[in-house]
Amino acid sequence: MIVIPQHIIFGIIEQAKNELPNEACGLLVGKGMEVIKQYSLTNVDHSPEHFSFDPKEQFGVLREARKEGWEILANYHSHPESPARPSEEDIRLAFDPNIIYIILSLQDKDNPVIKAFSIQNGKVVEIVIAGSLDFCHCGLDPQSQDVR
């Protein structure tokens, strides 16, 4: 399981829509199973069918994460015209068994689909994505008014 706050999921969808027709990509860092921060990275391939991180940006994320005591939990990329599952190329290039691979499909632009996978030696296993409450975005908690 990986826990991704709702505002980060929205952030990934927004980035992916902004970068159409190309694939968008980035990294999710956090602690344990919980994602704390999203980093949008430049897809230096500028392609609708594959992506590569900008190595300099990737290094910057690593450095900042290390400083904060976070780890890279997942990388993500979008599939502008195909389903939310790893392509053959995604599987072939998935060389890190400790990271979670997240794919956002914009095949149906009005209903983006986001899925997470672990990929080990070419074997793909889907991982559950759990949402977490975004306390920073909460207004009044409706229940708190009744508790006296």
Judged on CB neighbours under 10 Å (0-12, 13-18, 19+), 75 is buried
Using CB positions, name the residue nearest to Zn ion: 90
Q: Which stretch binds Zn ion (CB under 5 A): 12-20, 38-46, 56-64, 81-89?
A: 81-89
Residue 51 has which token pair? Answer: 């992506």
Taking CB under 5 A as the criterion, the residue among 3, 36, 49, 87 binding Zn ion is 87
Taking CB under 5 A as the criterion, the residue among 28, 41, 90, 102 binding Zn ion is 90
Write out the DSSP string of 4-61.
EEHHHHHHHHHHHHHTTTSPPEEEEEEETTEEEEEEEE-BTT--SS---B-HHHHHHH
Closer CB to Zn ion, 36 or 124, in the complex: 124
Q: How far apart, in whole angstroms, are the C-alpha atoms of residue 71 and residue 41?
A: 16
Backbone phi, psi, residue 115, to 5°: -140, 155
Q: Which stretch binds Zn ion (CB under 5 A): 90-98, 104-112, 116-124, 137-145?
A: 90-98
**Contact call for residue 52 and Zn ion (CB under 5 A):** no
Q: Minimum distance from CB of 62 to Zn ion (Å)?
A: 22
Q: Which stretch binds Zn ion (CB under 5 A): 8-16, 41-49, 86-94, 129-137?
A: 86-94
Closer CB to Zn ion, 42 or 87, in the complex: 87
